[in-house]
Amino acid sequence: MSSSSREWNAADYHRLSAPQFEWGQRVLNELLLRGDECVLDAGCGTGKLTRLLLENLPHGKVVGVDLSRNMATYARQNLEPGYGARASLVAADLLDLPFSNCFDGVFSTASFHWVTNHDRLFLNLYGALRRGGWLHAQCGGGPNLARLRQRVRELSQESPFAEWLADFREPWLFSDAEEAARRLHSAGFHEVKTWLEQARFAAKGPEEFEGYLGTFVLHRNLEMLPDAELRSTFLRRLVEWSMASDAPFVLDYWRLNIRALKAG
């Protein structure tokens, strides 16, 4: 993996990630915490949800892990001054976690679909948990963004983009609920619950829609294009397509919810 293909624009993500933050808050609000647990925030991004976890764990600790150094650094600068040793932010790969038997829980939102090997992901998370530990997560799943992805595939075959994008493989795994449950059981988890829910989101207008696509939906596709003008043309073509559709600027998100336990 090249270093650019693991990076994110942390400041733009922090500014534009209102939908992810809202979904994440709902997932977090369902957690029943004592307040002294040690929790892993897996794929913590800029740390917006990590901060909420810390607020809900006044006597606990949170370790935020993210593959992107930009994201981990942004989260560290945001959180370590206020939370001291209760917050640790680490740049690491969830597929190669440097932790074993040490967390009471793993929390994660909007990240697992960026990890395309879920068998290995779940095995790593299982290994990082203590006995009796929990996994409480949500990510993209099922038919997530199906209409947009179909249009992106078509556009990628057209001139002038095809030269760079015709063979591009999507960087996500949008698992369905049954497949995720099967993989969680194989990794050793029990009391597994997985389900999909629709989470349509309407951007306020063309600029916001383009910002979302460029910052956290299609940034990997755009990295393949050789210059800023071509990247901007690609995005503009998608904005025009969406504007002419029956649901302008709507992103047809689907979320996969995951709950599971490690035996005590």
Ligand X SMILES: C[S@@+](CC[C@H](N)C(=O)[O-])C[C@H]1O[C@@H](n2cnc3c(N)ncnc32)[C@H](O)[C@@H]1O
Query: Which parts of this chain interact with ligand X (CB under 6 A)?
Result: 8, 17, 20, 24, 43-45, 48-49, 65-68, 71, 93-95, 109-111, 114-115, 216
Please provide residue 226's backbone torsions phi and psi, each rounded to the nearest 5 degrees. -80, -20
Q: How far is the CB of 264 from ligand X (least distance, A)?
A: 27
Which CB, 75 or 238, lies closer to ligand X?
Answer: 75
Is residue 113 within 8 A of residue 172, CB to CB? The reply is yes
How far apart are the C-alpha atoms of 62 and 56, rounded to whole Å? 10
Q: How far is the CB of 42 from ligand X (least distance, A)?
A: 7
Alpha carbon of residue 23 to chain centroid = 11
Which CB, 44 or 180, lies closer to ligand X?
Answer: 44
How far apart are the C-alpha atoms of 119 and 94, rounded to whole Å? 12
Residue number of the CB closest to ligand X reads 45
What single DSSP character describes residue 138? Answer: E
Q: Which amino acid makes up residue 115? A: V
Which CB, 21 or 241, lies closer to ligand X?
Answer: 21
Q: How far is the CB of 4 from ligand X (least distance, A)?
A: 12
Q: ∠ at Cα 155 (152, 156), nearest 5°? A: 85
Q: How far is the CB of 155 from ligand X (least distance, A)?
A: 22
Which CB, 100 or 245, lies closer to ligand X?
Answer: 100
